[in-house]
Amino acid sequence: MLKINNLHASIEDKSILKGINLEVKAGEVHAIMGPNGSGKSTLASVIAGKEEYEVTDGNILFEGEDIEELAAEERAHKGVFLSFQYPIEIPGVSVTNFMKTAINETRKAKGLEDMPAKDMLKMIREKSELLEIDRKFLSRSLNEGFSGGEKKRNEIFQMAMLEPKLAILDETDSGLDIDALRIVANGVNKLKSKDNAVVVITHYQRLLDYIVPDFVHVLYNGRIVKSGGKELAHELEEKGYDWIKEEVNA
Amino acid sequence: MSKYTEDDLREELKTKEYEYGFYTDIESETFPIGLNEDIVRAISKKKEEPQWMTDWRLDAFKVWKEMTEPEWANVNYEKPDFQAIAYYSAPTAVDPNKTLDDVDPDLLAMYKKLGISVDEQKKMNNVAMDIVVDSVSVATTFKKTLGEKGIIFMSISEAIKEHPELVKKYLGTIVPTKDNFYAALNSAVFSDGSFCYIPKGVRCPMELSTYFRINQAGTGQFERTLLVADEGSYVSYLEGCTAPSRDENQLHAAVVELIALDDAEIKYSTVQNWYPGNSEGKGGVYNFVTKRGLCEKNAKISWTQVETGSAVTWKYPSCILKGDNSVGEFYSIAVTNNYQQADTGTKMIHLGKNTKSTIISKGISAGKSQNSYRGLVQINSRADNARNFSQCDSLLMGNECGAHTFPYIEAKNKTAKIEHEATTSKIGEDQIFYCNQRGIDTEKAIALIVNGFSKEVLNKLPMEFAVEAQKLLEISLEGSVG
Ligand SMILES: Nc1ncnc2c1ncn2[C@@H]1O[C@H](COP(=O)(O)OP(=O)(O)OP(=O)(O)O)[C@@H](O)[C@H]1O
Ligand SMILES: [Mg+2]
């Protein structure tokens, strides 16, 4: 589904990603861990097509197609979804209206008619129940005045509504209380299938107890320096990153 | 690629096109250019006015000749040459008493282009409509239904003939001829407009609406609207405006007077989409408008305006809160793009006790435009317990435009409570990227953000027009960029 080859990316001439190789197949869950500032969010943004970042080398294939030239919305239309580490506020635009616009714009790109209001409502009802979101919440301005945890839960609600092929969850667990973490993780698990894939970026093993990864990668200084199975996350939780840094610098 | 950088956005906004810029070739009769007493007399004669009206115009003309154009607004433009404008132009062979069914098919085709299928409006929206092209009212729909309730809704020319006592009693009482330069000019040469009277205790069962359009080249449009809501009555009124794209500047100087007697309520909404000029700042309508309403006891006047058009706008819909417990409201969205300039706001004059006013102004500036809010809140010495709340928000796109706020407060009574809030924000790249990531392209994202920003005001519009206004905001800011 996603194949990243020797990806180099920089911002304002500062090189941040320095040769990433990663392959994510349909049905898989990958976890990306790594110290602060190592480039995890940058990688997510580059995959999603944020234009401020310049790809200086390498490429990203999504379902076999090089997506370098595609705008962010075109990538979204193809099924790439990013749950933001810091979700953005849009005053005056309700969650519902935002989702309606997102879904219908995606449908339009595929040559489909707007989703009938009845179907939209049904879907909103189902997905908000899945994530235990109060319907009143959906009439509020997007992310405006939302608590940290509410923002994150709302990101996953959007993911549920958009049903992406590839979902990248950037520190979705941070800010969630213990119950919310379980609800959100269960939501993600329910949405998982053999046809889609999830990349979770996280600092904590806690989330991975719920969303169990097939692979764990350690990103350090713009490179994936170690990959392994789910045990690797436990090892990191226990030992921190120093031993990896030492391995790399040795 | 439609991804967002400040430069892209600026570029994108520049290529916007005015959707209503067509000219319809309908036969019309236009007076020679220039202004003098004879022209004023000729207009009055053409409209078969009684002597008192002719005299009223001539008085106004005398006053106007002695006045000079105001300079205090935060706008810059080449002063119009008042001797180079034709002051009267009308589609020929229009009988104002015609129903829409016998209106010139070319005119009807024009309304279609404007996006107002009159038939549909009639059926679906329960809207009574008066349409003024250039200087003359073409058709007033629904006259009969309204008549049954005693509501008078007709062109002002007709009203002068059919209800002279009402017109005489109220015309010029709220905006006196010598109020300002443009009001005086309007009083001398106004060609048409709407008149509306709601009898005591009557709730007008439908939206009343006037559609103004400048069609002929080199003409000015000077409409005059007079709306009287008698005791305990209610009316919601909407006006819309468009003009063809032309290289020269066209002048529009309207006067609107509202009178809300005891316990009456008037809701007055405007969707102003005059031609704004091209992306280099050439052409466009000069929109110099005086709008004012008077509230008697317990009365309420609400002004709602969506201003997207015109090269230069100078406009301050105001409320005189004369009666105790009266309420004035002003909700405004003003969008400026390219080289547009807007200086708009309101005056709330609190005279009565327990009077209350609310001002919500949303300014959106893009391109090289200048957008100013100018508002006066005046609390008179006898106005005990007067309250005002003002909120002025500005949204900027790009770095070449300007947003300015000029709030003036004059409080002569210690019990007054006045609150003022102001914010300025910019559409951020992060907001755009967030939308993009959800499959919403940049153009749509801007529309979404702008609509969100303007929501409090959009919500005040009658529902059927809110959708139209929302579309208009999108067009004004984005045009046909794909
Ligand atoms: N717009 C930018 N301008 C300058 N530097 C940037 C920009 N965006 C990211 N960086 C830098 O790139 C590096 C990687 O940042 P990134 O956000 O990808 O880290 P991260 O791995 O997600 O960290 P965290 O775990 O703290 O979220 C950091 O040093 C950061 O300061
Ligand atoms: Mg990060």
User: Looking at residue B3, what is its pLDDT?
Assistant: 40
Q: Which two tokens stand for residue A87?
A: 């979700």
Looking at the domain assignment, is residue B125 inside a domain? yes
- In this complex, the residue of A49, A101, A158 whose CB is nearest that of residue B444 is A101
Residue B124's domain spans which residues? 25-259+278-296
List of chain A residues whose C-beta atoms are within 8 Å of the C-beta of residue B430: 88
List of chain A residues whose C-beta atoms are within 8 Å of the C-beta of residue B429: 52
Q: What is the pLDDT of residues B432-467, one digit of tens each?
A: 999 999 999 998 999 899 989 998 898 888 776 777
Looking at the domain assignment, is residue B20 inside a domain? no
Q: Of residues B307 and A2, which shows the higher confidence score?
A: A2
Strand arrangement of the beta sheet that strand B234-242 belongs to = B136-140, B127-133, B207-213, B234-242, B265-273, B300-307, B327-336, B356-365, B387-396, B417-426
Query: Given the structure tokens 């709330």, which residue do they identify?
Result: B348
The residue whose CA is least distant from atom 2 of ligand 1 is A11
User: Which of these, B231, B235, B227, lies nearest to B201 by C-alpha position?
Assistant: B231
Nearest CA in chain B to A74: B439
Q: Of residues B164 and A135, which shows the higher confidence score?
A: B164
Residues 430-459 of B with CB under 8 A from A: 430-431, 433-442, 444, 448-449, 451-456
Mean pLDDT value of segment A38-60? 96
**CA B116/CA B468 separation, integer angstroms:** 10
User: Looking at residue B245, what is its pLDDT?
Assistant: 58
Q: Which parts of chain B register pLDDT below 70?
A: 1-30, 90-143, 212-219, 241-248, 464, 478-482
Q: What is the pLDDT of residues A163-197, one digit of tens each?
A: 999 999 999 999 899 999 999 999 999 999 999 99
User: Looking at residue B109, what is its pLDDT?
Assistant: 59
Looking at the domain assignment, is residue B201 inside a domain? yes
Mean pLDDT value of segment A199-217? 95
**CA B420/CA A72 separation, integer angstroms:** 40
Mean pLDDT of chain A: 94
User: Looking at residue B377, what is its pLDDT?
Assistant: 96
Looking at the domain assignment, is residue B420 inside a domain? no
pLDDT of A87 over the 80 cut: yes
pLDDT of A159 over the 50 cut: yes
User: Looking at residue B214, what is its pLDDT?
Assistant: 57
Percent of chain A with pLDDT over 90: 88
User: Looking at residue B217, what is its pLDDT?
Assistant: 55
Q: How many domains does chain B have?
A: 1
**CA B247/CA B477 separation, integer angstroms:** 21
**CA B434/CA B415 separation, integer angstroms:** 47
Cβ distance A102 to B440 less than 8 Å, yes or no, reads yes
User: Looking at residue B94, what is its pLDDT?
Assistant: 43
Q: Which two tokens stand for residue B27?
A: 């036969």
Looking at the domain assignment, is residue B9 inside a domain? no
CA distances from A163 to A167, A196, B9, B290 (A): 9, 9, 30, 53
**CA B416/CA B369 separation, integer angstroms:** 36
CA distances from B208 to A57, A157, B299 (A): 63, 43, 19
Cβ distance A71 to B2 less than 8 Å, yes or no, reads yes
Looking at the domain assignment, is residue B467 inside a domain? no
List of chain A residues whose C-beta atoms are within 8 Å of the C-beta of residue B458: none
| Residues with Cβ within 8 Å of residue B11, at least 6 apart in sequence | none
Burial of B60 (0-12, 13-18, 19+ CB in 10 A): buried
Angle at B427 between CA B271 and CA A73, to 5 degrees: 100
Q: Of residues A213 and B104, which shows the higher confidence score?
A: A213
Taking the CA of A33 as reference, the closest ligand is 1
Burial of B166 (0-12, 13-18, 19+ CB in 10 A): middle
User: Looking at residue B10, what is its pLDDT?
Assistant: 42
Residue B267 · residue B304 · CB < 8 Å? yes
How far is ligand 2, taken at its centre, from the CA of residue A44, in Å? Answer: 9
User: Looking at residue B287, what is its pLDDT?
Assistant: 86
Which structural domains are found in chain A, ordered by start?
2-249 (3.40.50.300)
Q: What is the pLDDT of residues A118-129, one digit of tens each?
A: 888 889 989 999
User: Looking at residue B288, what is its pLDDT?
Assistant: 87
User: Looking at residue B366, what is its pLDDT?
Assistant: 85
How far is ligand 1, taken at its centre, from the CA of residue A231, in Å? Answer: 27
Looking at the domain assignment, is residue B360 inside a domain? no
Looking at the domain assignment, is residue B356 inside a domain? no
Report which residue type is found at B107: L
